[in-house]
Amino acid sequence: MINRLEATRYVVAQVTDEPIVASLGNAKFDLFLAKDRPQNFYMWNSMGMASSMGLGLAMARPQQKVIILDGDGALLMNLNSLTTAASRAPENLIHVVWDNRQFELTGGQPTHTAYRTDLAMIARGAGFTQVASAETQEAFEAAFAHALKTPGPWILVAHIDAQRSPGRPPKSATYIKHRFMQSLGIEPV
Amino acid sequence: MTWSKQITQLLKDYNIRFLSYVPDAIGEQILKHARQDAFFDLLPLAREEEGVGVVAGQYLGGSRGAVLMPTSGVGNAVNALASLAIPYEIPLPMFIGWRGDLGEFNSAQVPMGQALRPILDSLNIPHFMLTRPDDVDTVVDGALKLAFAHERPVAVIISTQLAGWKDEK
């Protein structure tokens, strides 16, 4: 089983100035703990929107990889975004899904991946051809390193444990936005 | 120039290259012009809420986008508007084909059609109705200017008075 914080630490150690969009809850808490960097976009609500926002960012910045750190519950809320992303198929998109088979933040209620639902198979069915599942840190590291070097779009489903994160990123939405845009060298457009 | 061609031209004037959409008969009148213009990059969505996230990502990545959706799609997009586009201050021009009002044949369109403006009001999203061809340039120009100055969603509602309603009893 993968530990989300350990795997997130690996992700931020592999990137330089690539933007990372982190879904609400523990995905963004652990991203903050692993490394608070201005190229991190912390989503404080908008459950499910990380996948759509990452797609938009990947369309606007085709010259660099764009990474999404998502959760199983959030992705299940916006599954249709997989069909949109797969149809557009931006080569620079890496969509990581931390799958702990539960709504961890709200008390550990099981998500559908606790039973019959397989997000990697859904991604393939949506039209993704570059899909990997990882059960161990070693397998995740290999898959992520490969995804960084090869054209995507990639879906990496990481089967993680259920450790709550104490990380708390900045709470000002406009601070997050302005810091993020400035770090990419973007003036308001 | 038709109203739809005028809107397409104004989108270009504002350098809004990315158009995300869920199709409807009214929005299609704009999209048919955009499809023939290499300036535009169109993204079909499966659900309107995605468009809020997509335009947010495009804007944070340095490019302007807009969303075209039917009236029902505003219902599908409410939480993303309220929790992403508004607090993070994302300029988000929305072009909404109005259903459920003048000339409507389908009773199941009416409740959402009548709720459209109260929903936008409750989110403090400025909205402007297009009804007369003579107003299109002024209203759309002004709405786009407002969206990027205010850095929030701004809605342009395209009425059936302007775009026509479905010829069905």
| pLDDT 10s digits, A144-161 | 999 999 999 999 999 999
| pLDDT 10s digits, B5-18 | 999 999 999 999 99
DSSP string for residues in B52-119: HHHHHHHHHTT-EEEEEEEHHHHHHHHHHIIIIITTTT--EEEEEE--SSTT---GGGHHHHHHHHHH
Is residue B168 domain-resident?
no
ipTM of this predicted complex?
0.98
Across A60-80, average pLDDT: 98
| pLDDT 10s digits, B67-90 | 999 999 999 999 999 999 999 999
Q: Return the DSSP state at A103.
A: E
More confident residue, B166 or A141: A141
Is residue B169 domain-resident?
no
Contact across the interface for A81 and B53, Cβ inside 8 Å? yes
Per CATH, the number for A4-183 is 3.40.50.970
- Measure the CA–CA gap between A14 and A32, rounded to whole angstroms: 16
CATH code where residue B116 lies: 3.40.50.970
Instruction: Evaluate the omega torsion of the peptide bond into residue A153 and state whether it is cis, within 30 degrees of 0.
Output: yes
The kind and range of the H/E element at A47 are: none
In the three-class reduction of DSSP (H, G, I as helix; E, B as strand; rest coil), residue A14 is classed as helix
Supply the pLDDT for residue A188. 75
Across B103-107, average pLDDT: 97
Q: Is the model's pLDDT at B169 over the cut of 90? A: no
Contact predicate A147/A154, CB 8 Å: yes
Query: For testing the chain A interface, which of B22, B40, B60 should be mutated: the one with the most A CBs within 10 Å?
Result: B60
Across B122-133, average pLDDT: 98
pLDDT band, residue A187 (cuts 50/70/90):
confident
Q: Is the model's pLDDT at A20 over the cut of 80? A: yes
Q: Is the model's pLDDT at B96 over the cut of 90? A: yes
Supply the pLDDT for residue B2. 96
Q: Is the model's pLDDT at B135 over the cut of 90? A: yes
- Measure the CA–CA gap between B52 and A26, rounded to whole angstroms: 22
Is residue B23 domain-resident?
yes
Per domain, the residue ranges of chain A are: 4-183
- Structural domain including B50 reads 3-163
Q: Is B64 on the interface with A (CB under 8 A)?
A: yes
Nearest CB among A19, A50, A56 relative to B65 is that of A56
Q: Is A87 on the interface with B (CB under 8 A)?
A: yes
Supply the pLDDT for residue A57. 98
**Mean pLDDT for all residues in chain B:** 97
Supply the pLDDT for residue A96. 98
- Give chain B's domain count: 1
Supply the pLDDT for residue B19. 98
Nearest 5°: phi and psi at A155?
A: -120, 120
Look at strands A130-134 and A154-159 and give their pairing. Answer: parallel
As a whole-number percent, the residues of chain B with pLDDT over 70 amount to 100
Q: Is the model's pLDDT at A4 over the cut of 80? A: yes
**Mean pLDDT for all residues in chain A:** 97
Supply the pLDDT for residue A189. 73
B51 token code pair:
């468009």
Q: Is B84 on the interface with A (CB under 8 A)?
A: yes
Contact predicate B86/B77, CB 8 Å: no
In the three-class reduction of DSSP (H, G, I as helix; E, B as strand; rest coil), residue B125 is classed as coil
Across B133-146, average pLDDT: 98
| pLDDT 10s digits, A79-105 | 999 999 999 999 999 999 999 999 999
